[in-house]
Amino acid sequence: MSNKHMQLLQQRQEKRSEGAGGMKQPDMRTFFPTKDEAEAVVAPYAETHEKRIKCDMLTTDFLASAGWPHLIENEALRKLVKALNPRYDLPSIGKMQRLLLPTLKNEIILLIKDRLRKAATR
């Protein structure tokens, strides 16, 4: 757990009030995190998610342009990527086939259409 998470947890515990029978009960006004507290906890994950999407698409682009999308299953490639960035896992072949390759295909189609449209207006 990061220091920021520990601080938030500690603050939550300190804000609890005494309830009946001497047991600590949550104070409903302070039990739930504020919007700023919630965003502070979620922000690092959003950044990580964006990086993962970018890495997935770059990997897909590389493997598709080389004509080797099946290489995603190669154990040596997985070990290489893990050595370069231990926090990143290559996408599965299923994710590559169902999501990443169709997304890449659609991006390429849109790029070609845009170039054709620009060429036609010249």
The model's pLDDT over 76-93, given as tens digits with 9 standing for 90+, comes to 999 999 999 888 899 999
Strand partners, 24: 18
SS3 category, 18: strand
pLDDT score recorded for residue 33: 66
**Residue 73, token pair as written in the block:** 């299953």
pLDDT score recorded for residue 44: 62
SS3 category, 47: helix
Angle separating helix axes 101-120 and 35-66, nearest 10 degrees:
80
pLDDT score recorded for residue 46: 62
User: pLDDT (tens digit, 0 to 9) for every residue of the chain, 122 residues total?
Assistant: 677 777 777 776 666 544 555 566 656 566 666 767 766 666 666 668 888 899 999 999 999 999 988 899 999 999 999 999 888 899 999 999 999 999 999 999 999 999 999 999 88
Domain definitions of the chain by residue range: 34-120
Closest CA to 101 of 75, 62, 73, 74: 62
